Amino acid sequence: MIEQKYDVIIIGGGPAGLSAAAKAVENGLKTLLLENREMLGGIPFQCVHTGFGIHCFKEDLTGGEFIARLIDRAVEKGVETMVKTHVLKIQVYSALEKTVYAASPKGFLKIQAKAIIYAAGARERHQYEIGLAGDRPDGVYTAGEAQALMDVYGVLPGKKIVIIGSGDVGLIMARRLAMERAEVKAVIEVLPYPGGLTRNIVQCLNDFNIPLYLSHMVREVKGSERVEKVIVTRVGEDMKPDGSFEFELECDTVIVSAGLKPDVDILEKIGVETDPATGGPVVNEFYETSVPLVFTAGNALVVNDLVDYDVEQGEAAATHALKLLGDYLSPRLEWRRVERGRNIRLIVPQLVSGSKDVVFYSRVQYPEDNVRLTIRETGFEKRFFKVKPAEMIRIMIPAEELAKARRGKITFEVVR
């Protein structure tokens, strides 16, 4: 057993973790970054398409180009990293004493840290979470698995594909598979509107004549060894089959692209409070969870749709870690709880003090035009021409505004 001591251990070597690590080292903290895959980079590493770094590098980079810059920056700063290192458990002894247990090629590790920044990302919702019934043959993948197979390991997952879910990941995979001459039979979406951006409907589906079935679900997968077909059925407003229309699609592969969920099992085991709206931890304006000096950032905090937000959250978490490490004994601030009002599906951070400017990240429940985002207790409002669940709202609210809410809570809502 190898034992070492650090100021901060960062769990996860994707955009948020790499950014947090570079910032933590810059801030003079003794830092270790742990990554469980064989390479640093997280999900952007396996993304061949562009759309990365538009804000933070002012360039439209591919996933690989983008993440290489973050890796280079972390290396330049002298971040100590370990790959193929899987964190098994965290133990918290006191505010400044934590132990991370991990399995690595060097053996079993027991590493001491004062603070932890948990940036292990999100996991994909799988077939059993979306109620996909029927046989259990080979050939059912999540979108991320299919992407890694194709674009990292060079293996085409199948020839005749049905994709469940019309989020951007599902749409982008439809295009990639069509480009590689797989036959993408259809994209099936249970909601009455597409999950992804309109431009991805155009360039990923329409360009390749891939049909999109809205208000439909795959009711059943059939196949003895490999997937043979799926049964698609129309759903009503309650998102349950309404019995009006049903058809079969012959296919050898089903790709589930049903959204992401912050992967926080390890944090829940140390008693971190979670938010059912985000699936991630409840955090204060320092991205600190309910366990002191355990921070989160990136998709482990909230599923972001721009990687720039993961970078921003990672860097912020590292700066907050420095601040709170220096001042962990001072009395804790009194928190105002951030509440979700009309047409707000989720919002982070969930606790604010009113003494610091805060950047909020939020998603609406359903699309609306010509609305105002308001804070009920302070009278704050901002106009939006259009809000959609697929497009996260990022908004900075100054401390003075937050301080106006005196009754211990701050309610965001979308009003017409």
Partner 1 sequence: MSRIVEYTCIICPSGCLLRVEAEENRVVKVEGAGCPRGVEYAKQEFSDPMRIVFTVVRVRNGELPTVSVKTTRPIPKNKVFNLMKMLASIELEAPVEIGEIIVGDAYGAEVVATRRVGRREPVAG
Q: Would you tell me how many other CB atoms lie within 10 Å of the CB of residue 327?
A: 8
Q: Give whichever of 75 and 133 is closer to partner 1, judged by the CB atom.
A: 75
At closest approach, how far in Å is the CB of 108 from partner 1?
24
At closest approach, how far in Å is the CB of 48 from partner 1?
4
Q: Give whichever of 60 and 138 is closer to partner 1, judged by the CB atom.
A: 60
Q: Give whichever of 51 and 139 is closer to partner 1, judged by the CB atom.
A: 51
CA distance 343 to 373: 10
CA distance 170 to 184: 11
Paired tokens of 103: 């399995």
Report the DSSP pairing between strands 368-375 and 409-415.
Answer: antiparallel
Q: Which distant-in-sequence residues (6+ apart) come within 8 Å of 198 by Cβ?
A: none
At closest approach, how far in Å is the CB of 183 from partner 1?
14
Q: Give whichever of 202 and 239 is closer to partner 1, judged by the CB atom.
A: 202
At closest approach, how far in Å is the CB of 404 from partner 1?
33
Phi/psi of residue 105, each to 5°? Answer: -60, -25
Q: Residues in the site for partner 1, rule: CB under 8 A?
A: 39, 45, 48-51, 62-65, 68, 150-154, 176, 179-181, 197-199, 201-203, 207, 391
Q: Give whichever of 28 and 154 is closer to partner 1, judged by the CB atom.
A: 154
At closest approach, how far in Å is the CB of 260 from partner 1?
18
Q: Give whichever of 66 and 286 is closer to partner 1, judged by the CB atom.
A: 66
Paired tokens of 300: 């482990």
How many Cα neighbours within 13 Å face the side chain of 279?
Answer: 18
CB 389 within 8 A of CB 344: no
CA distance 299 to 293: 19
At closest approach, how far in Å is the CB of 153 from partner 1?
6
CA distance 1 to 85: 14
Paired tokens of 187: 């994209």
CA distance 65 to 72: 11
CB 87 within 8 A of CB 34: yes
H/E run at residue 5: strand 2-11
At closest approach, how far in Å is the CB of 244 from partner 1?
29
Q: Give whichever of 95 and 392 is closer to partner 1, judged by the CB atom.
A: 392
Amino acid present at 85: T
CA distance 34 to 119: 10
Burial class (CB in 10 A: 0-12, 13-18, 19+), 130: middle
368, β-bridge pairs: 387
Q: Give whichever of 199 and 269 is closer to partner 1, judged by the CB atom.
A: 199
At closest approach, how far in Å is the CB of 176 from partner 1?
8
At closest approach, how far in Å is the CB of 82 from partner 1?
17
At closest approach, how far in Å is the CB of 276 from partner 1?
28
Q: Give whichever of 68 and 130 is closer to partner 1, judged by the CB atom.
A: 68
Q: Give whichever of 136 and 199 is closer to partner 1, judged by the CB atom.
A: 199
Distance, C-alpha 92 to centroid of its chain: 25
